[in-house]
Structure 1
């Protein structure tokens, strides 16, 4: 007896009607609402928008001042002082840090604004066509990953503040010592005032949050796309498994036949999913490029400074190794989470290859060709794709870079 298998399978695969809505989109929206506190106002009101413009202006002012100080040093208009706080590397890293913060704010703002349309398209995939059961763990995983990134980043920044001022810094001298130590590329002792120190202190925290947030966006969006591919692949695996069991049970008069038009629905679901990934890649590509270049620069800088300056107090050593480890872990997490999209986009092929020949049809063949030839990945504006091979290539490049720097520095 011929039945509407695709509807029956989906009913078996879902436990109840209230579980048919995936929790990923509301959870991401909640994360973006929190982002209004550090300058991304899309899900806020007029106050959030005013704060975003203020943050943008202050970051731009600090970046302009840092670049001007760097130009003066390169032009010979200012000299390196004896304790080395005005070296080119430190002024350059300060300029890059705030340049990344400014670009991160702008690009994150643009992406979160576009997310409204992307989420509507994502929701249509969830509620129309091939309706899949929700990922019951996605909300918990998104919250856990966001909390872990926030916690590790908070500890790293606290260690950087202690390292900059020392453990026994008097409270009344803390702000001055911290600003002059961490922003020596921007201010000298005679230029210090409380009216400059307070905005610099606030913007340094905002810049650090934005740096971590840009990586968080990439990781969370990658988790959502991977989750959807996983559910689609699981559905195909279940269908093929039923087809194989039905082939053995034909002699009992209980055939299980999946119609061509049902396989067409599955193939079209993969087409729409691939279109969603490409849309996100187009809108997220600039942020991926910025994140990759910024993480690569600061990893190389940390390695170089650590090799040159092995000595120091205990807190400085703890901060150095923790900061370097956190940088490496976060950068690897970005690449590996995005690489999972590419891996899961082709995982259904292994199930299609074992599909019984008696039920093999043109739509299955088209789906195989589509999954085999379609290139699904996140990229940095098309300059490179994020996959696991790139991780090894970047590691080799960092080693070469450090060796060259050490050779010329000696």
Structure 2
């Protein structure tokens, strides 16, 4: 195994990109040595991340002011929840950043067990490649979603301007459509557009990156469980001395402690991410029964956003559940240990494997295992059947109404 194939080195560039959007403001995130990673309250990254948080908070206050003046609706409530989730994600990543240096040092210490012989012979998981592929696919898909939603806003604002005969310029109509909460309190200026678009990106980025971050954590932990399983599978049905099982059991317990550490650190993010994903999917499914129009751009943006949310959530579960999958494979491998090789160490190892769940969780409310996909699918289908009895407009596709009141 290459000496640099550690989780820190595999994920450092991904975290550096996230810092552009104000997330996880730790210093020296690209350092080769984990001992150089620091969290400093007085640092440019903290100042930059704090500035983004303040700007997001100011926009959230503007949204509240807008909702109070125009009356709260189902659509407005989803907008409010989006900003609440964004602010919480920034806060949770700040909380994680405080403990990130110590987490990385602990993780690096456990990884040293798996960077030497015999585990180096069982490294076929390609952790770094998987992290880059997941990050590239998820975030490029999120970029396409963001582009489609912007195109949708530009299109609808132009249709409103022309069909409703509103006497404003094209860019002002975009500003009015995209940021009605700001339009009520801040007059249009062309220099505001790039500023507000940057704030919009810092709000949109954490929603997809949080899922991507959970997947990266899952890949990093699964890589070590995979090595442990491969070492046990290599002695399938062979008689091994007690010292072998003692060492393997100790390495498993080290991984178990690492999983518990990571689970405690990122559990709020997991709970928030899946809660937000489920609410967004249900919200979009509700809208799919209503009249969303026959406009091609509107339809493409709507369905892409819905399908992307479902696929991203499912992918997060499948990737993170690989930790539990490898543990179950280890349990299966222990059942094939020959009777004459069964010892007190194998017995203790077997009991510890069956003691509790080894998986990331949402603060203990649910665990990221493959069965969660079935549970979420059942919930979504039940929800869709319930609202289908109430809303019977799914087959109606009338002309999109562009004109609206502010």
Deviation at 1:145, TM superposition (A): 1.0
Aligned to 1:303: 285
CA change 1:174–1:353 in 2 (3 A) is: farther
1:398: Cα distance to partner?
2.2
Q: SS at the partner of 1:22?
A: coil
Superposed displacement of residue 409, structure 1: 5.4
Partner residue, 1:38: 21
Listed as ranges, the gaps of 5+ residues in structure 1 are 1-13, 80-86, 244-256
The match for 1:63 is 60
SS of aligned partner of 1:348: helix
Deviations 1:310-367 (A, max 9, x none): 4231111111111111010111111222222212122112222112222221111111
- With 394-403 and 87-96 compared, the bigger mean Cα shift is at 394-403
Residue matched to 1:312: 294
Q: Alpha-carbon deviation of 1:135?
A: 4.6
CA distance in 2, matches of 1:224, 1:90: 38
CA distance in 2, matches of 1:174, 1:226: 51
| Aligned positions of 1:10-409 closer than 5 A | 19-40=2-23, 41-43=25-27, 46-70=43-67, 72=68, 78=70, 88-128=73-113, 131=116, 132-133=119-120, 134-135=123-124, 137-166=126-155, 173=169, 175-184=171-180, 186-188=181-183, 192-194=187-189, 197-240=193-236, 243=238, 258-408=240-390
Alpha-carbon distance in structure 2 between the residues aligned to 1:269 and 1:130: 12
Higher Cα Rg, which structure: 1
When normalised by structure 2's length, the TM-score is: 0.82
Greater Cα shift, 25-34 or 293-302? 25-34
Q: Give, in whole Å, the separation in 2 of the partners of 1:391 and 1:129.
A: 31
| C-alpha contact 1:32 1:112 (8 A) present in aligned 2 | no
Are the equivalent residues in 2 in contact too, given 1:94–1:183 (CA < 8 A)? no
* Residue 5 (structure 1) aligns with: none
Rate the CA distance shift 1:357–1:222 in 2: closer, same or farther, 3 A. Answer: same
The alignment's TM-score, normalised by the length of structure 1, stands at 0.82
Contact preservation (8 Å) 1:39, 1:48: yes
CA distance change for structure 1 residues 34 and 168 in 2, over 3 Å: closer, same or farther? same
Q: Distance in 2 between matches of 1:301 and 1:103?
A: 20
State the shift of 1:211 in Å: 1.1
Structure 1 pair 321–206 and aligned structure 2 pair: CA distance change class (3 A)? same
The separation in 2 between residues aligned to 1:326 and 1:347, in whole angstroms, is 31
State the 1:238 CA deviation: 0.6
2:89, 2:269 within 8 Å by CA — same for their partners in 1?
yes
Q: Partners of 2:114 and 2:313 in 1: how far apart? A: 36
The 1:317–1:191 alpha-carbon spacing in structure 2 relative to 1, beyond 3 Å, is same
Question: 3-state SS of the aligned residue for 2:200?
Answer: helix
How many residue pairs match? The answer is 365
Q: Distance in 2 between matches of 1:403 and 1:264?
A: 53
Paired residues of 2:263 and 2:360 also in contact (CA < 8 A): yes
Distance in 2 between the 1:227 and 1:402 partners? Answer: 37
CA distance in structure 2 between the partners assigned to 1:187 and 1:340 by the alignment: 45
Q: What displacement does 1:128 show?
A: 3.7
Q: Work out whether residues 62 and 182 of structure 2, in 8 Å CA contact, stay in contact via their aligned partners in 1.
A: no
Mapped to 2, the partners of 1:173 and 1:162 lie a distance apart of: 17
